[in-house]
Amino acid sequence: MADELIRSIDKATLEMLEKAEKEQVSTVFSRADQIKPCPIGVEESCCKICAMGPCRMPRSKKGEEKARMGVCGATVETVVARNFARKIAAGSASHSDHAREVTETFLKAAQGQAQGFTIKDEIKLFEVALDFGIEIEDRSVTDIAIELGQKALEEFGKQHGELTYIRKAPLKRQEIWKKQGVIPRGIDREVVEIMHRTHMGVDQDYVHILEQATRCALADGWGGSMISTDLQDIMFGTPVPVVGTINLGVLKEDEVNIVVHGHEPLLPELLVTASRDPEIKKLAEKAGAKGINLAGMCCSANEVLMRHGIPCAGNFLQQELALVTGAVELMTVDVQCQMQGLQDVAACFHTKLVSTSDRAKIQGATHMEFHPDTGLDTAKKILRLAIENFPNRRGPVQIPDHKEDIVAGFSHETINYLLGGLFRASYRPLNDNIVNGRIRGVAGVVGCNNVRTVHDSAHIAMIKELIKNDVLVLTTGCAAMACGKAGLLTPEAARAFAGEGLAEVCEAVGIPPVLHMGACVDNSRILVAASAMVKEGGLGDDLSDLPVAGAAPEWMSEKALAIGQYFVASGIFTVFGSPWPTLGSDKVTRHLFEEYEEIYKGTWAFEADPVKAAQRMIAHIDTKRKALGLEKARERVLFDMAMRRNLT
């Protein structure tokens, strides 16, 4: 680590980086110093699709204006659009394959074949059954769940028609999608079609390629991700606000520390159950530990935090640093966002790295595959392995003394309840407070960490700027964890960081100014919440009419691009930080940044400075407020008869 570089705004991260440097442990931070990003690749103007290349097409120097093309004649527009679309396909495939695993487990759970899983939230089951047009009446929960599982599974392989969840969007938005011909037919089909269209010598019109990218991204947001969120809620319970703690300080020196890392909450749920087993607790004591300390990392952390209050050890860039403490007996990894460097770090300490998905193995790691029919047995086996490893700690343990209290678990249903109570549940109070100007608008700030930015800094700078200007922030994924560490996820944060209007509303309802809505797959909750705002009325009749904006200031994963694309195609202005992956082509960039406004009434934007990005979001929110006639704060006035007479 170079001394002059500021790596993170998080003290626990800095402390562990210092330890890693002292002990010469390679981490993502030190590796980033050794590898500079490829200047052509960063603009996505390099084509590796066939074996006649790779064809590199750097931008012309000033005054040259060279029309560059690949060996096959592919223009830089085609190349950049293909690369962008392929990233969206990969992102959508990741969320949707996660959803497939959940759906198959759900079906097994409904059929009584999944060990340790059951239908926990019957109300959510009925809710989703209604979405899928499943008869409820007097049928048994098992029958309904089996039919739902089968129908949800069919969504992946559907060849024609429309995805079921598309109907949850506002009617006007559905009309726009229909007019543009981008309604997804089936989840898998849209991913496959991108891979076909971007194969050598197929689709050679960047506008047409990006149209399919939109169809695919919508299949992620309004398909795979939504299925995953909903079925997980049915199996594990729809999240309600819960108090938790976050940062590396949640690890305990005198307990067996097990970190669950990854994205699928299936095994982590069972680890929570198994860790409460008295027999397992006894084993831990026998090994000399005071107990078992289960902690989360990345989106698995968000899942178990929201449903069980399990402490969260940190976000993406902290995964190796958790092991650097020397206190982690075992880390489980399933799919997405786990660094291969983890095994090398684990080998420097006593930590066992255990891969659990049939989709992902890491060389050197122990593979203990999770299958729903024997899930609980596997969970107990993993815990036993961790306990046995407790006496093997090498050298002194160093756990940073940094952790923060947070409140997480704001599902769309819970927000609806919190705003109006059980019998008056409604988004009306939110819409009213947007109309009267106490709340200026709503922003979804989501996404990863990226080692090319200062860890967590862009999230926090952007979100503080937004809430200071009375913008309510909805957050998921690693962005949510950054907020937690910075103390933004408690109700008290409203008075400390939010503008006067937003703070008033937060205090009245008892919510933080930044609402933790879950893992990155749960961005579907933001879509549903925004649709509810439209349907409630008073803020236009389409998602694009709402004073809302989206952002991912520290993105790095292909999933983030898929998320951004479905936000934009849903009519939401979305600004990304870090590098922007179409800068190799001005035409493609202009298409996404300007022409999309005409097509989808939502656009992409790129702004590396998070505060400037926040100001652009606020300016967009103000434009939408003006279009709705809400440019000035106004209170609701109850008219008496005299005032009514004056109206005529």
Stretch that binds other proteins, among 94-102, 201-209, 415-423, 629-637 (CB under 8 A): 415-423
Residue of 425, 509, 611, 628 interacting with other proteins (CB under 8 A): 425
Reading phi first (left if > 0) and then psi (alpha if -120 to 50, else beta), residue 621 is in alpha
Bridge-based pairing of strands 471-475 and 292-297 is unpaired
Residues 535-564 that bind other proteins (CB under 8 A): 535-541
Beta bridge partners of 354: 332, 366
Under DSSP, the state recorded for 594 is I
* Residue 58 contacts other proteins per CB under 8 A: no
**Site for other proteins, residues 521 to 540, rule: CB under 8 A:** 531-532, 534-540
> Quick one: 518 or 540, whose CB is closer to other proteins?
540
Per-residue interface string for the shown chain with other proteins, residues 135-154, x marking contact by CB under 8 A: -x------------------
Pairing of strands 471-475, 441-445: parallel
Q: Which is nearer to other proteins, 74 or 539 (CB)?
A: 539
Per CB under 8 A, the segment of 48-56, 416-424, 554-562, 617-625 that binds other proteins is 416-424
Q: Report the C-alpha gap between 146 and 444 in whole angstroms.
A: 34
Spatial distance between the Cα atoms of 516 and 473, rounded to a whole number of angstroms: 9
Region of 86-94, 356-364, 410-418, 589-597 interacting with other proteins (CB under 8 A) = 410-418
Contact status: 405 vs other proteins (CB under 8 A): yes
Q: How far is the CB of 315 from other proteins (least distance, A)?
A: 22
CB of residue 214 to other proteins, shortest distance in Å: 18
Between residues 108 and 124, which has the closer beta carbon with respect to other proteins?
A: 124
| CB environment 225-264: b (16+ within 10 A), e (fewer) | bbbbbbbbbbbbbbbebbebbbbbbbbbbebbbbbbbbbb
CB of 416 to other proteins, least distance (A): 6
For other proteins, the closer CB: 21 or 131: 131
Closest CA to 79 of 198, 218, 207: 198
Q: What is the DSSP letter of 592?
A: I
Residue (68 or 151) nearer to other proteins, CB? 151
Among 27, 75, 238, 453, binds other proteins (CB under 8 A): 238
> How far is it, in rounded angstroms, from Cα 575 to Cα 593?
10
User: Which tokens belong to 345?
Assistant: 């770090």
Residues sharing a CB contact under 8 Å with residue 136, sequence separation 6 or more, in sequence order? 126, 129, 130, 144
Task: Kindly state the tokens that stand for 287.
Answer: 């090994």
Rounded Cα gap, residues 580 and 107, in angstroms:
40
Tell whether residue 172 is a contact of other proteins (CB under 8 A).
yes
Encoded one letter per residue, x for contact with other proteins by CB under 8 A and - for no contact, window 293-332 reads ----------------x-----------------------
Nearer to other proteins, 122 or 401 (CB): 122
CB atoms within 10 A of CB 638: 6
Tell me which of 8, 103, 315, 414 binds other proteins, using CB under 8 A. Answer: 414
Cα distance between residue 619 and residue 341, in whole Å: 41
Q: Which residue type does 480 have?
A: A
In terms of Cβ atoms closer than 10 Å to its own Cβ (0-12, 13-18, 19+), residue 21 is middle
Query: What are the two backbone dihedrals, phi and then psi, of residue 95, each rounded to the nearest 5 degrees?
Result: -60, -40
- Nearest one of 211, 153, 226, 148 to 186, comparing CA atoms: 153
Question: Which residue of 186, 224, 311, 409 would you call a contact of other proteins, by CB under 8 A?
Answer: 409
DSSP 212-267: HHHHHHHHIIIIIHHHHHHHHHHHH-----EEEEESGGGS-TTSEEEEEESS--HH
In the chain, what's the furthest Cα-to-Cα distance?
A: 84
Window 6-45: contact mask with other proteins (x via CB under 8 A) = ----------------------------------------
Give the shortest CB-411-to-other proteins separation in angstroms.
10
- Please choose, out of 38-46, 55-63, 124-132, 290-298, the segment that lies near other proteins by the rule CB under 8 A: 124-132
Place of tokens 């076909």: 196
426 touching other proteins, by CB under 8 A = yes
Q: Which is nearer to other proteins, 98 or 173 (CB)?
A: 173
Q: In angstroms, what is the minimal distance from the CB of 309 to other proteins?
A: 7
C-alpha triplet 430, 435, 438: angle, nearest 5°: 70
Q: Which stretch binds other proteins (CB under 8 A): 123-131, 200-208, 332-340, 366-374?
A: 123-131
Tokens of residue 372, six digits = 């729903």
Site for other proteins in 72-111 (CB under 8 A): none
CB 301 within 8 A of CB 313: yes
Residue 422 contacts other proteins per CB under 8 A: yes
* 10 vs 413, beta carbon nearer other proteins: 413
DSSP state of 447: -
Contact region with other proteins (CB under 8 A), list: 172-180, 218-226, 472-480, 583-591: 172-180
For the CB of residue 581, give the shortest distance to other proteins in the complex, in Å: 33
Cα→Cα distances 8→27, 55, 536, Å: 14, 36, 41
CA 441 to chain CA centroid, Å, is: 21
Nearer to other proteins, 235 or 539 (CB): 539
Give the pair of three-digit tokens for residue 65: 């204006």
By rule CB under 8 A, what count of residues binds other proteins? 44
CA 224 from chain centre, in angstroms, equals 13
Nearer to other proteins, 207 or 627 (CB): 627
- Taking the CA atoms of residue 627, residue 632, residue 636 and residue 642 in that order, the dihedral angle to the nearest 10 degrees is -100
In the bound state with other proteins, the residue whose beta carbon lies nearer, of 414 and 582, is 414
Give the binding range for other proteins (CB under 8 A) out of 19-27, 43-51, 118-126, 555-563. Answer: 118-126
**121 near other proteins, rule: CB under 8 A:** yes
Which residue of 178, 196, 361, 634 would you call a contact of other proteins, by CB under 8 A?
178
The binder of other proteins chosen from 202, 207, 243, 627 (CB under 8 A) = 243
CB 594 to other proteins: min, Å: 27
Q: Return the amino acid letter for 149.
A: G
Q: How far apart are CA 288 and CA 475, in angstroms?
A: 40
State which of residues 130, 207, 496, 643 lies at the interface with other proteins (CB under 8 A): 130
d(C-alpha 614, C-alpha 136), whole Å? 45
Q: How far is the CB of 175 from other proteins (least distance, A)?
A: 5
Shortest gap between Cβ of 51 and other proteins (angstroms)? 46
Residues lying near other proteins in the complex (CB under 8 A): 121-123, 126-127, 130-131, 136, 168, 170-172, 174-175, 178, 238-243, 309, 405, 409, 413-414, 416-417, 420, 422-423, 425-427, 531-532, 534-541
